[in-house]
Amino acid sequence: MTNSILKYYFFLITFFLVNINVVKAEKYKIHDLDRPKPSIVAVGNFSQNSSAPSDAIILFNGNGLDEWKSTKGKNIKWKSTKDYFEAKKGTGSIITKKTFGDVQLHIEWSTPIKIEGESQGRGNSGVFFMAGAGGWGYEIQVLDSYNNPTYADGQAGAIYGQFPPLFNAAMKPGKWQTYDIIFTRPRFDSDKNLIKPAYATVIHNGVLIQNHKEILGPTSHKIRAPYVMHQDRLPIQLQDHSNPVRFRNIWVRDLEK
Percentage of residues of the chain with pLDDT beyond 90: 68
Residue 100 has pLDDT above 80, yes or no: yes
Mean pLDDT of 47-61: 90
Q: Are 133 and 179 in the same domain? A: yes
Nearest-5° angle of CA 87, CA 204, CA 24?
Answer: 105
Q: Are 3 and 56 in the same domain? A: no
Residue 94 has pLDDT above 70, yes or no: yes
Q: Are 62 and 74 in the same domain? A: yes
Q: Are 145 and 245 in the same domain? A: yes
pLDDT band at 156 (very low <50, low <70, confident <90, very high): very high
Under 8 Å between Cβ of 88 and 70: no
Query: How high is the pLDDT of residue 25?
Result: 57
Quote the number of domains for the chain: 2
CA dist., res. 62 & res. 194, Å (int): 39
Domain that holds residue 2: 1-29
CA dist., res. 136 & res. 125, Å (int): 14
CA dist., res. 187 & res. 20, Å (int): 28
Q: Are 64 and 103 in the same domain? A: yes
Q: Are 14 and 44 in the same domain? A: no
CATH number at residue 39: 2.60.120.560
Q: Are 219 and 128 in the same domain? A: yes
Q: Are 4 and 53 in the same domain? A: no
Q: Are 35 and 132 in the same domain? A: yes
Residue 67 has pLDDT above 90, yes or no: yes
| pLDDT tens digits, 201-247 | 999 999 999 999 999 999 988 888 999 999 999 999 999 988 999 99
Q: Are 22 and 107 in the same domain? A: no
